[in-house]
């Protein structure tokens, strides 16, 4: 049984080929996720900043962290996979024309926000370990870049959530259904005329 410290300290690739393979597949999965932007452009749907910014930065950071065998990245991978499991289950139900209650899409966005907050917490934890002179298999530069990335995601998703579900003054057109993704996040707002705006 390993401690929490182990999961933020030791490299997940060098000593464990299974974890290394899973991490490799995770990193590679970010390429087709970025390609999702192409479909939005080809369908001439609105492409909002949150969508392409999130996809592009996640792809770059994943490759960067993978090169370093960054230990805290195992947290990011697990959180991302967990949120994606619910998100794509929601998507599957929507694709099969099931009427999913609005609170489900809200819950997915809350999970996304929790993921971003968790990412910030893990980075701060790793930084504190290094400041205390303890071994932690991640560079300070990686921690800073990851912290900036996660914090910016949190701000952007919080703003999106507020406009979609809280602000009564915000126009509601096009904000009917929501889906989310993360390090990595996908939100799909379908309007009454059948068009959709997707953020991932």
The predicted pLDDT at position 116 comes to 97
Please determine, for residue 49, whether its predicted confidence score (pLDDT) is greater than 70: yes
Question: What's the predicted TM-score (pTM) here?
Answer: 0.76
Identify the CA nearest to 187 among candidates 60, 62, 94. Answer: 94
pLDDT tens sequence across 9-41: 555 445 566 677 778 888 888 888 877 777 788
The count of residues in the chain is 200
- 23-37, 60-74, 111-125: which has the highest mean pLDDT? 111-125
d(CA 124, CA 114) in angstroms, rounded, equals: 15
Q: 54 an active-site residue? A: yes
157, 109 contact by CB (below 8 A): yes
101 against 66, higher pLDDT: 101
Q: What are 77-99's pLDDT values in tens digits?
A: 889 989 989 988 998 898 899 99
Measured in degrees and rounded to the nearest 5, phi and psi for residue 88 equal -75, -25
Domain ranges of the chain: 4-199
**Tokens of residue 30, six digits:** 């970010």
Tens of pLDDT, residue by residue over 141-199, are: 999 999 999 999 999 999 999 998 898 776 654 333 333 333 333 344 332 222 233 33
Helical (H) or strand (E) element with 150: helix 140-161
Under DSSP, the state recorded for 190 is E
Report the pLDDT value the prediction gives residue 133, as an integer from 0 to 100.
Answer: 85
Q: How far apart (Å, rounded) are the C-alpha atoms in residues 159 and 121? A: 20
Find, among 183, 191, 194, 192, the residue nearest to 58 by Cα. Answer: 183
The mean pLDDT value of the chain amounts to 77
Query: For residue 54, what are the β-bridge partners?
Result: none
Which among 62, 39, 26 is positioned nearest to 198, based on CA atoms?
39
What lies within 8 Å, CB to CB, of 180 at 6+ separation is 83, 87, 105, 108, 109, 111, 112, 157, 186, 187
Selecting among 54, 55, 84, 189, the annotated active-site residue is: 54
């Amino acid at each position: 049984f390993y401690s929490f410290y182990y999961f933020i300290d030791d490299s997940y690739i060098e000593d464990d080929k299974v974890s290394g393979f899973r991490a490799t597949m995770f990193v590679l999965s970010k390429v087709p996720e970025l390609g999702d932007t192409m479909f939005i452009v080809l369908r001439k749907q609105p492409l909002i900043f949150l969508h392409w910014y999130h996809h592009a930065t996640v792809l770059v950071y994943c490759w960067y962290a993978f090169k370093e065998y960054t230990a805290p990245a195992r947290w990011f991978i697990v959180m991302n996979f967990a949120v994606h499991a619910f998100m794509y289950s929601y998507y599957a139900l929507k694709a099969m024309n099931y009427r999913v209650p609005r609170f489900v899409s809200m819950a997915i966005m809350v999970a996304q926000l929790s993921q971003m907050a968790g990412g910030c917490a893990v980075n701060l934890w790793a930084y504190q370990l290094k400041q205390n002179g303890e071994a932690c298999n991640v560079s300070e530069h990686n921690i800073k870049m990851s912290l900036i990335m996660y914090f910016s995601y949190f701000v952007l998703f919080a703003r999106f959530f507020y406009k979609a579900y809280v602000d009564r003054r915000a126009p509601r057109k096009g904000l009917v259904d929501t889906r989310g993704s993360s390090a990595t996040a996908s939100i799909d707002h379908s309007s009454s005329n059948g068009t959709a705006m997707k953020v991932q």
